Amino acid sequence: MQTGNKQFSPGLWPTVATLCVLPLLLYLGFWQLERAEQKSAALQHKLQRSNEAPLLSLEANTGIDSLLWRKARLSGVFDQAHIFLLDNQVVNGQAGYFVYTPFELANHNTVLVNRGWIKAEADRSSVPMLRTPPGRSVVSGLIKAPPATGILLAENTDEALAVGLYRLQHIDPAEMNEKYQLTLLPYVVRLDAESKAGYVRKWRQADSGEAKHLGYAFQWFAMAGALLIIFLLVNLKKKTDGNNSST
């Protein structure tokens, strides 16, 4: 193929390399677009769930999938004998804990309530000053799955800081039921910012992550375009005149 005084003459190996890499880059770009669409749909599902009427009770036989991201307004009593501090939680650059307390409902089901964040002292043996409301309380919050954690490097990582006060590295209701003779439901309630009985609650707004995947898709498509341009430029050579001869 000729263009003006240049001729497109692709070599074997550049052609093979381009034919192998270009489809891969395009595939990755379209895959990221698909991921962005999935994340957007998931966020819409969460928002739809959170806009439904609040649940006034929680039943043990209700599947967790049908409850996640639903709002709840519950009447019950905080367990005065158990408070759990989830370790390594950073807010505004400061290390601290999320405070979890079991909350027993009128039907005797118990759900773990994330009451918010408190700052951790530099002295790891320091016991935070905490107060759990006595008597019957009403809490409002969002039903969520227990927070995910990384790989635990040791077993029995729970630490008793005081009577009934425990520092944990992860939240697992089933495991806590066994260790502390509790009957926690398999999810948690994240206390609303307006509710009493809580601590610092600067909860992250729900974000689909769609923009991140769209950004990745743009990068992959840009790389594919750059590869194609490089392939064309490298193989577009100046045409030689076969009629020229030295004198």
My answer on whether 21 and 104 are in the same domain is no
What does the pLDDT profile of the chain (247 residues) look like in tens digits? Answer: 555 567 777 778 888 889 999 999 999 999 999 988 888 877 777 777 778 888 998 988 888 888 888 999 999 999 999 999 999 999 988 999 999 999 999 899 999 999 999 999 888 888 888 989 899 999 999 999 998 875 565 565 789 999 999 999 999 999 999 999 999 999 999 999 888 888 999 887 766 677 888 899 999 999 999 999 988 888 877 666 554 444 4
My answer on whether 19 and 118 are in the same domain is no
97, 95, 90, 92: which is closest to 115 by C-alpha?
97
80 within some domain: yes
My answer on whether 134 and 107 are in the same domain is yes
My answer on whether 88 and 170 are in the same domain is yes
**231-to-29, 220, 236, 237, 239 alpha-carbon distances in Å:** 19, 16, 9, 12, 17
My answer on whether 162 and 80 are in the same domain is yes
State residue 81's pLDDT score: 93
My answer on whether 85 and 127 are in the same domain is yes
- The token pair that represents 105 in the structure block: 């409902």
My answer on whether 64 and 158 are in the same domain is yes
- DSSP letter string over 36-63? HHHHHHHHHHHHHHHTSPPBS---TTS-
199 within some domain: no
My answer on whether 40 and 55 are in the same domain is no
Q: Which domain holds residue 223?
A: 2-45+209-238
246 within some domain: no
- Please state, in angstroms and rounded to a whole number, the distance separating the CA atoms of residues 64 and 5: 69
Residue 191: half-sphere exposure toward Cβ, Cα within 13 Å: 26
The domain tally of the chain equals: 2
Single-letter residue type at 184: L
Phi, psi of 186 (to 5 degrees): -80, 30
* Ramachandran quadrant class, 197 (left: phi over 0; alpha: psi -120 to 50; beta: rest): left
Beta bridge pairs of residue 47: none
182 within some domain: yes
Helices marked H in the chain — which ranges? 12-50, 173-180, 210-234
41 within some domain: yes
Q: What angle do CA 114, 116, 121 make, to 5 degrees?
A: 120
State residue 103's pLDDT score: 96
SS (H, E, C) 9-20: CCCHHHHHHHHH
State residue 61's pLDDT score: 85
180 within some domain: yes
My answer on whether 90 and 155 are in the same domain is yes
My answer on whether 184 and 113 are in the same domain is yes
My answer on whether 14 and 108 are in the same domain is no
245 within some domain: no
220 within some domain: yes
My answer on whether 55 and 114 are in the same domain is yes
107, 102, 117: which is closest to 173 by C-alpha?
102
